[in-house]
Structure 1
Amino acid sequence: MISKNRTWWLWPVELILLIFDIMGLPDFIMQARLITRSGIRTLSDREKQLISDVYGELSFLDNVWMNSSDMFKFRKFAHAFVFHDSINFHNSITDSVIIHEIMHVIQYHLVGSVYITRALKAQKSLEGYQYGGPEVLYHNMLSGKSIWQYNYEQQAQIMQDLFDMEGTMSSTTDISLTSYRMLLNEVRATLLNI
């Protein structure tokens, strides 16, 4: 768990990341990686369709990269992770994890590189990826809690869980999906503005 007195470093790091964004460094870094690395590819048509089926049309989808070349360095820490517009993974990645990681790409497009510190902070928080499941989500929906009030990992996990639930439930009108779909609609509405 991260205590408030241990997060003093977040604002200077986020300031530096915002300056990097203004200078265009994320794009420069991605171009350098494309030149110097193999194993980096664009999203396949199937992956683009999968993402569009969940999130709707995303204006930046053609700029999202799949990278399996660097993950060996990080595989003991994570199955997959996002660095700006690049989804990094080891060997293979499931559709479910793609949906989770695309939410982090969306976060990058909404707030810039500061999504990195916010996602890392979320991973170390008491809640982590846990948002309470369908019952808590439904209760929170009734009390007016927005998708953007969950931490960055919870946001991605909610989208991943919706994807998984829709793939396994016999009825797509199941009441337990209502709160998930409302939060997804909130994400889609926000994406119309970027």
Structure 2
Amino acid sequence: MNFSKLHLTLQLLIAILISLPRRIYRVFCHFPALFTYLNRPALYGIRFRGIARCFLWLGEIPFLLLDLAGLPEWYELVNLWLKPNSRSLTSQELIWAKSLFGEMLPYQRIRIDERARLGPKQYRFCYVSFCVINSWERMPPAILIHELVHVWQFSRYGSPYILRALLAQNTRAGYDYGGIRALQMAREHDLTLEAFNYEQQAAIVEDFFRFQKKGPLRWGRGEDPHDPDTYRYFISALTEIHF
């Protein structure tokens, strides 16, 4: 009998109950937020025109309701028992993650499925479904950190992160946050990580991790981050407590 799986199963069932007040609060806050959506040209680092903001607000409601039903935990339970190849983070991966996220990730819930057949096998990409990271082979450390940012987004904002990340992928900028100069300009205007779309957020953290490991930046326009403090300014959001 796999006691570690039984233990995680119990944790997930308890998480459904523990998460309920926070998820109810998110739903409660979402309805009056319509006025904010309608009056802000940029939401989650993406500029929307007119009625598109209303459609975004409407589109997030099903995700919030699915959270209330505990869909993330039920999905993770199915993955836990029906995907025997999925694994938890290794000790080294855990060290990397904690160096950036501190204790803000549900590390015991995170599973990595390196044999995900739907999508990753055919097109060689990774994606995150709640606390499950799906790929078709072992990910390079920097890519793992990128995907862990999406786990962080789920932990912080709930399932609407899925819609926001998908929309971010289809913007002109996409993953490209503009390099260190764009970060410096954003910092001068007192902007935070939330000023960037959900894929840019992950790219910023990924590039900072690459810098720490003395590797080339993925989105840095060939420049070295001679101002690592600017990266740290944005990275600090990862360890802030958020209800």
In the alignment, the residues of structure 2 paired with residue 144 and residue 44 of structure 1 have an alpha-carbon distance, to the nearest angstrom, of: 37
CA gap 1:68/1:9 in 2 versus in 1, 3 angstroms: farther
In the alignment, the residues of structure 1 paired with residue 208 and residue 153 of structure 2 have an alpha-carbon distance, to the nearest angstrom, of: 18
- Could you say which residue in structure 2 is the equivalent of 1:115? 161
Q: SS at 2:172's partner residue?
A: coil
Q: TM-score, normalised by structure 1?
A: 0.87
- Could you say which residue in structure 1 is the equivalent of 2:71? 25
2:212 paired with 1:149: no
- Could you say which residue in structure 2 is the equivalent of 1:89? 135
Q: Point out the structure with max Rg over C-alpha.
A: 2
2:231 paired with 1:180: yes
- Could you say which residue in structure 2 is the equivalent of 1:46? 92
- Could you say which residue in structure 1 is the equivalent of 2:37? none
In the alignment, the residues of structure 2 paired with residue 125 and residue 91 of structure 1 have an alpha-carbon distance, to the nearest angstrom, of: 27
**69-78 or 153-162, larger mean C-alpha shift:** 69-78
* RMSD of Structure 2 on Structure 1 (CA): 2.2
**63-72 or 24-33, larger mean C-alpha shift:** 63-72
- Could you say which residue in structure 2 is the equivalent of 1:61? 107
In the alignment, the residues of structure 2 paired with residue 186 and residue 69 of structure 1 have an alpha-carbon distance, to the nearest angstrom, of: 32
CA gap 1:77/1:153 in 2 versus in 1, 3 angstroms: farther
Aligned letter for 1:107? Q
Aligned letter for 1:23? A
Q: SS at 2:143's partner residue?
A: helix
Aligned letter for 1:146? T
User: Displacement of 1:2 after TM fit?
Assistant: 8.8
- Structure 1: gaps of 5 or more residues: none
Name the count of aligned residue pairs. Answer: 188
Is the CA contact 2:86–2:111 (under 8 Å) kept in the aligned structure 1?
yes
Aligned letter for 1:144? D
Percent of residue pairs bearing the same amino acid type: 26
CA offsets per residue over residues 101-158 of structure 1, 9 Å max, x none?
1110000011110000000000001111111101111121112111011100000000
In the alignment, the residues of structure 1 paired with residue 195 and residue 214 of structure 2 have an alpha-carbon distance, to the nearest angstrom, of: 27
- Structure 2: gaps of 5 or more residues: 1-45, 216-224
Q: TM-score, normalised by structure 2?
A: 0.70
1:94-105 equivalence runs, <5 A: 94-105=140-151
Is the CA contact 2:119–2:125 (under 8 Å) kept in the aligned structure 1?
no
